[in-house]
Amino acid sequence: MTLILGANQYGKAESRVVRIVRDTARHEIRDLNVSTSLRGDFADAHTTGDQANVLPTDTQKNTAFAYAKLHGVDSIEDYALALGNRLLEATPAAAQAQVRVEEYAWDRLGDHSFVRRGGGVRTAVVTVTRSATHVVSGVRDLVLLNSTDSEFKGFLTDEFTTLPETDDRILATALVARWRHGTTDGVDWNKSYAAGLDTLLQTFAGTYSRALQETLHAMGTALLESQPDLAEVRFSAPNKHHFLVDFGGFRVDGLTNDGEVFIAADRPYGLIEAEVIRDDAPPAGDAWLAVPGFC
In percent, the amount of the chain with pLDDT more than 70 equals: 99
Query: Checking DSSP bridges between strand 114-116 and strand 230-239, what pairing results, if any?
Result: unpaired
3-state helix, strand, coil in the chain (%, to 5): 25, 35, 40
Q: Which residue has the higher pLDDT, 260 or 292?
A: 260
Set 134, 181, 240, 241: catalytic member: 241
Set 2, 24, 57, 157: catalytic member: 57
Select from 23, 91, 99, 109 the least CA-distant residue to 53: 91
Is residue 85 scored above 70 in pLDDT?
A: yes
Domain boundary at 97, 131, 165, which?
Answer: 131
DSSP letter at 150? B
| C-alpha span between 206 and 260 (Å, rounded) | 22
How crowded is the C-beta side of 160, counted as CA atoms within 13 Å? 0
12 is catalytic: yes
Is 78 within 8 Å of 126 (Cβ atoms)?
Answer: no
pLDDT band at 104 (very low <50, low <70, confident <90, very high): very high
pLDDT tens-digit map of 120-154: 999 999 999 999 999 999 999 999 999 999 999 99
3-state secondary structure of 60: helix
177 shares a domain with 106:
no
3-state secondary structure of 204: helix
Question: What is the value of pTM for the model shown?
Answer: 0.92
Is residue 290 scored above 80 in pLDDT?
A: no
252 shares a domain with 207:
yes
281 shares a domain with 165:
yes
Question: Residue 257 sits in a domain of what CATH number?
Answer: 3.10.270.10
Domain that holds residue 102: 8-131
pLDDT (0 to 100) of residue 174: 94
145 shares a domain with 107:
no
222 shares a domain with 121:
no
57 is catalytic: yes
189 shares a domain with 105:
no
Set 12, 61, 134, 240: catalytic member: 12
Counts of helices then strands in the chain (DSSP H, E): 5, 12
